[in-house]
Structure 1
């Protein structure tokens, strides 16, 4: 499991230009079962994605398709973790 921490490096006006494409990207990976949760930071300096992937290489491949990545809108910090305690409804993401 991975936490993808996006930090905008361009003004919000640039972020907005690619937001619809970014949402399409998110929907693709929600549909494939890779993305579990995502959202904006508060204050709006970036976003966070909880990603289920087999390894860091797969996460990097996924991120490379993000319009925010392709257009230099955000930097990405990745944190891998192993869920050992979780709500019952979350169990399907672990198995």
Structure 2
């Protein structure tokens, strides 16, 4: 599993300009079966996506996010090898 942590490097107003294409990109990540959960950081300094799949494919997809393309946010991709999960979340362990 991967934690995709994005941090805004431009003001929220700039992020808002690219939010619609970014959300279309997020929805496509779900459609591909890669994204498991996502949301904004609190306070609003970026967001987090929980993802699964091949690291190279995930990293290539991240580079195509409109936020990354337009320099609105930077990503940190962290791989996590889960060993313990709550009942019903076994699929997260890969």
Query: Normalised by the size of structure 2, how large is the TM-score?
Result: 0.92
- Displacement of 1:45 in angstroms is 0.4
Contact 2:37 2:49 in 1 (8 A): yes
**1: distance between equivalents of 2:63 and 2:77?**
13
The aligned residue for residue 60 of structure 1 is 59
Query: 1:89 aligns to what SS in structure 2?
Result: coil
* 1:76 counterpart residue number: 75
Deviation of 1:94 (Å): 3.8
CA distance in 2, matches of 1:80, 1:38: 16
Q: 2:8 matched to which residue of 1? A: 8
| Structure 1 unaligned spans of 5+ | none
Give me the TM-score of the superposition, normalised by structure 1.
Answer: 0.91
Unaligned runs of 5+ residues in structure 2 are: none
The C-alpha deviation readout for 1:14-44, integer Å capped at 9, x for no partner, is 1000101111000001111100011000010
Distance in 2 (CA, whole Å) between partners of 1:5 and 1:92 is 21
Alignment RMSD: 1.2
Work out whether residues 59 and 77 of structure 2, in 8 Å CA contact, stay in contact via their aligned partners in 1.
no
Q: CA deviation at 1:93?
A: 4.1
Q: Which moved more, 1:80-89 or 1:30-39?
A: 80-89
SS at match of 1:29: helix
